[in-house]
Amino acid sequence: MTTTRPASVDEAAKVLRDTRGTVLFRGGGTKMSWGGSTPEAPDLVLETGGLHRLLTHNPADMTAAVEAGMPLRTLQDRLARSGQWLALDPPTEPDGATLGGLLATGDSGPRRLRYGALRDLVIGVTLVLADGTVARAGGHVIKNVAGYDLSKLSYGSVGTLGLVAEVVLRVHPKPEASATVVVPAAVATANAISLRLLASPLEPSAVDWVGDPGAARGGGRLAVRFEGTAAGVETQTAALRALLNGSAPPAGTWAEAAGALVDADEAALWNEFAAARRAESGQSVAFAGTLPSRLPAVADALTAAGNATGAQVRLASHTALGLHTAGFAGSPQQQVAAFDRWRRAVLALGGTVVLRGRPAEVDKIVDALGPAPLAASLLRAVKSRLDPDGRCAPGRLGSWL
């Protein structure tokens, strides 16, 4: 296996044009375990660390073009000099996640509720295909419809279509103020509050719950974040307190228990919530998507899976988005058995489930991706057009491709 680190798009194109065999693209390496089980060893690893430049930044148009090997945290530091930021907060940012890797894996964070996922913030992309062809789509303005939408195809492709080499991004002004209201809440209460929020005129940036999925009362914390002007944040937090008070749960007035965190305390809370989505050593984490209203059923199924197998389980949910991360601890056999039970239950609810981080022992005995989606034939058709020889990221989408 050969490793190379091109320093430009042209160099990356030449590497792919002049080589044969399979190739794996690697950015910050924070999500190499995502995708299918036991991916095949590639002939070539192409690292994007040499593609780390900020190409353009137009503060007036609120756009920036960057090479895909730039870490997100580096880009945020550069944009902050102009009072702007890329409205993205994935849990892998502190570990050095790159822009190309985030697009290729579809990684997101709590603020997706307000700002959308990365695919909604990308307005242009440059791919280097397996034969060295450089393909560009989109442009440097927000209202742009030129060309085929390669950015949407790249999103979540885990490098199976080609190298994400450059991205053009829509950026936002940094919020003047931020505050997070924290409510002790079991799953059922958190779900009810989240649904009330979705039906209200309030505009939170994030609504997340972390805790014990099996606890009937007080088993977790619901965090609701507001951002914007200082006056706007104050108004919305006050309105949330009124909404919580109106929910009148049996245990008393939630508004009395709700505390608003700001500055370092707020940052510490969201760092803690992000950590709940990462796999600890020897443990597994799975990601599921459902309708937001399915949260209690998702939590009940996870509790039942843990009880039946002896595995220890935990749950972190973007409750207003219906996106859930489940953690599994125990022996590899217990983790696999619990995950399999939970996946079958979530699929029965009409959801989707994939296993992300997991120990090698777990990887050997479970299909991380599960049943192919209905669009699998379309995925294969796109793959055959962009990578007809199957060079890119062998095995990362398992039997789906």
Residues 150, 148: Cα–Cα separation, whole Å: 6
In this predicted structure, the answer to whether residue 192 has a pLDDT above a threshold of 80 is yes
In this predicted structure, the answer to whether residue 325 has a pLDDT above a threshold of 60 is yes
Token duo for residue 266:
């707020």
Residues 254, 274: Cα–Cα separation, whole Å: 24
pLDDT at residue number 245: 81
Domains of the chain, by residue range, sit at 2-173, 177-264, 284-363
SS (H, E, C) the chain: CEEECCCCHHHHHHHHHHCCCCEEEECCCCCCCCCCCCCCCCCEEEECCCCCCEEEEECCCCEEEEECCCEHHHHHHHHHCCCEECCCCCCCHHHCCEHHHHHHHCCCCCCHHHHCCHHHHEEEEEEECCCCCEEEEECCCCCCCCCCCHHHHHCCCCCCCCEEEEEEEECEECCCEEEEEEEECCHHHHHHHHHHHHHCCCCCCEEEEEECCCCCCCCEEEEEEEEECHHHHHHHHHHHHHHHHHHCCCCCCHHHHCEEECHHHHHHHHHHHHHCCCCCCCCEEEEEECCHHHHHHHHHHHHHHHHHHCCEEEEEEECCCCEEEEEEECCHHHHHHHHHHHHHHHHHCCCEEEECCCCHHHHCCCCCCCCCCCCHHHHHHHHHHHCCCCCECCCCCHHHC
What are the tens digits of pLDDT across the range 50-109? Answer: 999 999 999 999 999 999 999 999 999 999 999 999 999 999 999 999 999 999 999 999
Residues 212, 186: Cα–Cα separation, whole Å: 8
pLDDT at residue number 80: 97
Residue 401: pLDDT band by 50, 70, 90 thresholds? Answer: confident
Angle between helices 295-309 and 187-199 (to 10 degrees): 160
pLDDT at residue number 166: 97
Token duo for residue 265:
């305390």
pLDDT at residue number 255: 41
Place of tokens 């062998």: 394
**What spatial distance separates the first Cα and last Cα of the chain, rounded to whole Å?**
23
Select from 3.30.70.2730, 3.40.1280.10, 3.40.190.10, 2.70.70.10 the CATH code of 284-363: 3.30.70.2730
Residues 69, 27: Cα–Cα separation, whole Å: 6
| Least confident window among 142-146, 184-188, 286-290 | 142-146
pLDDT at residue number 144: 47
What are the tens digits of pLDDT across the range 129-155? Answer: 999 999 998 765 544 445 558 889 999
Please check whether the two domains, 2-173 and 177-264, share a CATH topology.
no
Overall average pLDDT of the 29-48 stretch: 85
Question: Nearest 5°: phi and psi at 342?
Answer: -65, -40
Place of tokens 């880009």: 75
What are the tens digits of pLDDT across the range 366-379? Answer: 999 999 888 889 99
Q: Which residues contact 343 (CB under 8 A, 6 or more apart)?
A: 286, 288, 353, 370
The reported pTM is 0.91
- Of residues 258 and 206, more confidence is placed in 206
**Architecture of the CATH domain 2-173:** 2-Layer Sandwich (3.30)
| Least confident window among 130-144, 169-183, 267-281 | 130-144
pLDDT at residue number 201: 95
Overall average pLDDT of the 246-266 stretch: 63
**Architecture of the CATH domain 177-264:** 2-Layer Sandwich (3.30)
